[in-house]
Amino acid sequence: MNALAPEMPVEARSALELNRALRMATPFEVIESALKTVGRERLALVSSFGTESAALLKVMADVDPAIPVIFLDTGWLFAETLAYRDTLIDTLGLTDVRSIKPLEETLGREDPERDLWFSDPDACCRIRKVEPLSRALAPFAAWLNGRKRFQGGARADIPVVEEDGVRLKFNPFANATREEIEAIYRDGKLPPHPLIASGYMSVGCMPCTSRTASGEDARAGRWRGRAKTECGIHTMKTS
């Protein structure tokens, strides 16, 4: 890893400077740097506990298993995802996983029939993911997520560190290859998400997730048949 210049405190570094310093760093080094930059009480990891989530959670646990983990329980998740969350908490020894839900008042006002996912999936993601995450991140100065450049689309050019409104956003796996992710699973003996065996290569909410056919991109089963490719939490600017 490129060492941070000793004449400038880490806390004073901008996202651009941190990104430059960490551009060749390992995921462990990125998370370790994030922790040193803002401290455990001001750093959160956001995880969907999806098909590739265990790798990032494993690296985080190797750095510090007490880093807060935010899990968005949208009300539309597969039962297998909820069970997988509990399995990984026990397997990795995570000590501060916070399950965040949308406000009942908001759901009653904007999605009383639970069909908003069909008529306006962007609005559904907003009230079930974007708004709850914005609330959950309020106490934090930086957050970690598992996006990777090899996932393509809007993720193809993500930096290792970026500005996200008033927060720093660390992407420890920005440079990772699919083979490196697989190696973390193999070496760490991590359990796979139970839906992978059924053909789900990327898992989100039940109504907007489908199986992926052989040869398709791993995220092809998300919002199939729509132009939508992101839920919005990675395109919002947190405040």
Q: Do the beta carbons of residue 77 and residue 206 sit within 8 Å? A: yes
Q: Do the beta carbons of residue 68 and residue 186 sit within 8 Å? A: no
The phi-psi region of residue 232 (left if phi > 0; otherwise alpha if psi is between -120 and 50; otherwise beta) is: left
**Of 98, 99, 96, 122, nearest to 111 (Cα)?**
122
Q: Where are the beta strands (DSSP E) in the chain?
A: 43-47, 69-72, 97-100, 142-144, 161-164, 167-170
Q: Which of 124, 125, 208, 231 is catalytic?
A: 231
CA dihedral 179, 184, 186, 192 (to 10 degrees): -100
Is residue 231 part of the annotated active site? The answer reads yes
**Of 141, 167, 163, nearest to 38 (Cα)?**
141
Question: Which amino acid would we find at residue 208?
Answer: C
Q: Which two tokens stand for residue 188?
A: 């760490």
Give the catalytic positions in this structure.
231
